[in-house]
Structure 1
Amino acid sequence: MFGANQGQLLTGDARLDGKDLAIGIVQARFNQDVTDALAAACRAELLALGVQERNIDHFHVPGALEVPSALQALAEKTHYDALIALGCIIRGETYHFELVANESGAGVTRIALDYQTPIANAILTVENMAQAIARQSEKGRDAARTAVEMANLLNHI
């Protein structure tokens, strides 16, 4: 038998209602001006969506490759409804860009699937600093909205 809410989709404001959610943020320090702007936009949007300041935990790691390890540690703490990954990888002259971009992205996805925890991945992968700056605020806000919407969806299912 299905319960009364089974099979019904969350709509409208319910999808983006963060008032009862606990969110963990992991921010890479590499390219810190960009990641600080990502974090500021993300936190402001979380608060605008009703997430209480006391329910937002924010952690810093050296770079994008360290983000998945911190996310895993947070996912093991079952009190987070969603997690957010913030970072910035700028293409250089070597293969290192591809390695960092691919491995950090794969790690974030694996943690989300292994722990059934929504993770908004806002690790920017860009060609240059101008592209990073152009995306930092919008992607920070997008990460907050994605985390809240997915947390509500998975809590509802």
Structure 2
Amino acid sequence: MATANKNLSEYDKSRLPSAFSFRFALVRAQWNDQVTSGLYKGAYDTLIDLGAKPENIVTIEVPGSMELIYGCRQAAAIEPKVDAIIAIGCLVKGETMHFEFVSMAVYHGLSQLNLTLQVPVIACVLTDNNIEQSLARSGGVHGNKGVEAAVTALLMCGRKV
């Protein structure tokens, strides 16, 4: 497991630029709320810690992970423009193929947004075998993938194709 020996919440603030002059959109799926709320908190708190102003962090909530794609596209159209978008979701494997189809569709959709939008879209969508794995990565034993997504978003700010 890639995160078995890594805490996702560790970062060296002194090696990162300030987030003070950037605007961010956090697009959060409400499905698996306990997990996505933890991921959101990790991303939001990290952006604040790195210097982002609260008024420069826009939040959009969507029902589930499939809707993240549309929500991110909406976020890209916000004025004044955002510098990076973080898509926050959680998909947990079940007994049917639904997990595989939705996971592939979400990641494909987010990839397409990165190819077509003029703003980076960071995927903070957990795809785990069970809810325990998701909880471990949204503020549990493995830290918080939301923190990692916030750092990635900051590092992508201002990069133009």
Larger Rg: 1
Structure whose residues are more often helix by fraction: 1
Question: Aligned-pair RMSD on alpha carbons?
Answer: 1.7
**Could you tell me which residue of structure 1 aligns to residue 104 of structure 2?**
102
Specify the SS of the correspondent of 2:85: strand
**Could you tell me which residue of structure 2 aligns to residue 117 of structure 1?**
119
C-alpha offsets along residues 94-152 of structure 1, whole Å, 9 cap, x if unaligned? 00001110101111111121013111110100000110011113201001000011014
Specify the SS of the correspondent of 2:86: strand
**Could you tell me which residue of structure 2 aligns to residue 54 of structure 1?**
55
Instruction: Write the letter of the residue equivalent to 1:116.
Output: Q
* Contact kept? 1:76, 1:115, Cα under 8 Å: no
Specify the SS of the correspondent of 1:16: coil
* Alignment length (residue pairs): 144
**Could you tell me which residue of structure 1 aligns to residue 135 of structure 2?**
133
* Contact kept? 1:122, 1:140, Cα under 8 Å: yes
* Contact kept? 2:60, 2:75, Cα under 8 Å: no
* Contact kept? 1:75, 1:111, Cα under 8 Å: no
Unaligned runs of 5+ in 2: 1-12
Between the two proteins, what is the percent identity of the paired residues? 32
Q: Distance between the aligned counterparts of 2:22 and 2:114, measured in 1?
A: 17
Q: Distance between the aligned counterparts of 1:107 and 1:63, measured in 2?
A: 14
Q: Distance between the aligned counterparts of 1:109 and 1:15, measured in 2?
A: 25
Specify the SS of the correspondent of 2:96: coil
Deviation (angstroms), 1:77: 3.1
Q: What TM-score does the superposition give when structure 1 sets the normalisation length? A: 0.86
Q: Distance between the aligned counterparts of 1:70 and 1:86, measured in 2?
A: 11
Instruction: Establish whether residue 16 from structure 1 lines up as the match of residue 17 from structure 2.
Output: yes
C-alpha offsets along residues 52-90 of structure 1, whole Å, 9 cap, x if unaligned? 000000111000000000111111336110000000000
Name which of 143, 155, 159 aligns with 1:149. 155
Q: Distance between the aligned counterparts of 1:107 and 1:49, measured in 2?
A: 29
**Could you tell me which residue of structure 2 aligns to residue 65 of structure 1?**
66
* Contact kept? 1:30, 1:64, Cα under 8 Å: yes
Q: Distance between the aligned counterparts of 1:131 and 1:36, measured in 2?
A: 15
Instruction: Write the letter of the residue equivalent to 1:112.
Output: N
**Could you tell me which residue of structure 2 aligns to residue 4 of structure 1?**
none
- Higher deviation after alignment, 22-31 or 129-138: 129-138
* Contact kept? 1:16, 1:145, Cα under 8 Å: no
Specify the SS of the correspondent of 2:157: helix
